[in-house]
């Protein structure tokens, strides 16, 4: 498909349905699910165990072949938990698996296929015991985890840092740092004096931002008809 064929009203109804689905089917599985969230294909989001919390104005994108999975699977007496802050982005294929504690700050972005875990899930010598190698993971504010990157147990990533695509992070990452590779190593230090615009800044006026997106949707669906949309589904042709 080269362009959007749905009429504007149908696209808006689809968006409203996805929010309703998240509220009705996902919210009961969260200890806390914030307000103002945006969800794409929320029926491909899996939430298991708890407590799991997701802050305000989250943006969660899932896909049939790349489900978003938030899992607390703890054999510890104290249990485990996942806490994700406000304004965070979870892309298709993101997996967050906690045995003890994973805390993610505000305005964090987790790209396609990113994996964050606080456990090895099996010991090197006792592979029947999943509680041997466990250490909390903490991400500061405005952290960006790149495509298919892995954040391992015991890691703390400082504010505004970036983890490159495919990196495997086994050690702490200081604030304002870019790391990449396996194991992840320093690539660049960011300038703290430079202005940093976060997702929280971008969504400071949620109503105004929603109106901007509505204008964009109207522009991209201008001239679309119900008949044209049905035709594109049943009888697709070159240029659709």
99, part of any domain:
yes
Contact 184, 168 (CB under 8 A): yes
Residue 76 has a pLDDT of 66
The predicted-structure confidence for 6-57, as pLDDT tens digits, reads as follows 999 999 999 999 999 999 999 999 999 999 999 999 999 999 998 999 999 9
Residue 196: C-alpha distances to residues 57, 93, 207, 231 (Å): 19, 27, 22, 46
Return the pLDDT at 1.
Answer: 64
Q: How far is CA 162 from CA 71, 126, 174, in A?
A: 24, 34, 10
Q: Is residue 194 part of a domain?
A: yes
Q: Residue 189 half-sphere exposure, CB side, CA atoms within 13 Å?
A: 5
Whether 162 maps to a domain, the answer reads: yes
Residue 63 within any structural domain of the chain = yes
Note whether residue 212 is domain-resident: no
51: domain CATH number? 2.160.10.10
**Which residue ranges in the chain fall short of pLDDT 70?**
1, 75-78, 130-132
Domain membership of residue 120 (yes or no) is yes
| Domain encompassing residue 186 | 31-204
Is residue 56 situated within a structural domain? yes
Q: Tell me how far apart the alpha carbons of residues 108 and 123 are, in angstroms, rounded to a whole number.
A: 30
Token pair listed for 74? 């703890």
- Residue 66 resides in a domain: yes
**Could you give the residue numbers annotated as active site?**
122
Instruction: Give pLDDT, residue 131.
Output: 61
Domain count, the chain: 1
């Amino acid at each position: 498909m080269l362009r959007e064929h749905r009429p504007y009203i149908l696209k808006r109804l689809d968006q409203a349905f996805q929010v309703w689905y998240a509220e009705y089917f996902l919210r009961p599985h969260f200890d806390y699910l914030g307000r103002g969230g945006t969800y794409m294909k929320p029926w491909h989001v899996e939430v298991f165990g708890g407590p799991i919390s997701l802050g305000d104005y989250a943006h969660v994108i899932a896909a049939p072949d790349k489900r978003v999975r938030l899992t607390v699977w703890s054999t510890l007496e104290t249990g485990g938990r996942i806490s994700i802050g406000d304004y965070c982005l979870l892309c298709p294929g993101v997996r967050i698996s906690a045995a003890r504690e994973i805390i993610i700050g505000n305005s964090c972005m987790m790209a396609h296929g990113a994996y964050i875990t606080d456990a090895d899930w099996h010991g090197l010598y006792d592979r029947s015991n999943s509680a041997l190698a466990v250490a909390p993971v903490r991400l500061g504010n405005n952290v960006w985890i790149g495509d298919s990157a892995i954040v391992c147990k015991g890691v703390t990533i400082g504010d505004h840092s970036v983890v490159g695509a495919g990196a495997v992070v086994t050690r702490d990452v200081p604030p304002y740092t870019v790391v990449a590779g396996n194991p992840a190593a320093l690539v660049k230090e960011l300038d703290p004096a430079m202005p940093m615009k976060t997702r929280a800044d971008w969504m400071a006026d949620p109503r105004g931002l929603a109106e901007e997106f509505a204008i964009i949707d109207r522009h991209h669906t201008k001239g679309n008809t119900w008949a044209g949309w049905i035709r594109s589904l049943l009888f697709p042709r070159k240029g659709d």
